[in-house]
Amino acid sequence: MNPDASTIAAGAPIEVDLSPIAEGQDIKVFWRGKPIYISHRTKKQIDEARAVNVASLPDPQSDEARVKSGHEQWLVVIGICTHLGCIPIAHEGSYDGFFCPCHGSVYDTSGRIRQGPAPSNLPVPPYQFVSDTKIQIG
Ligand code: FES
Mean pLDDT of 79-96: 96
Q: Which atom of ligand 1 is nearest to the CA of 88?
A: 2
Pocket around ligand 1 at a 6 A CB cut-off: 81, 83-86, 100, 102-105, 116-118
Residue 34, phi then psi, degrees to nearest 5: -105, 140
- The Å distance, Cα 130 to ligand 1 centre, comes to 33
Q: Give catalytic residues, as residue numbers.
A: 103
Separation CA 55–CA 67 (nearest Å): 18
Task: Report how far ligand 1's centroid is from the alpha carbon of 32 (Å).
Answer: 21
Taking residues 105-120, report their average pLDDT: 98
For residue 91, pLDDT over 70 is answered with yes
Q: How far apart, in whole angstroms, are the C-alpha atoms of residue 34 and residue 70?
A: 26
* Domains in the chain: ranges and CATH: 20-137 (2.102.10.10)
Neighbouring residues of 93: CB distance < 8 A, sequence distance ≥ 6: 99, 106, 107, 115
pLDDT of res. 48? 96
What distance in angstroms lies between residue 87's CA and the mean position of ligand 1's atoms? 8
Is the whole model's pTM more than 0.85, yes or no?
yes
Residue of the CA atom closest to atom 1 of ligand 1: 84
Average model confidence (pLDDT) across the chain: 95
Of 4-18, 42-56, 77-91, 103-117, which gets the smallest average pLDDT? 4-18
Q: How far is residue 30 CA from its own chain's centroid?
A: 12
What confidence score (pLDDT) does residue 11 get? 77
Kindly report, residue by residue over 30-87, the tens digit of the pLDDT: 999 999 999 999 999 999 999 999 999 999 999 999 999 999 999 999 999 999 999 9
DSSP H helices in the chain: 5-10, 43-50
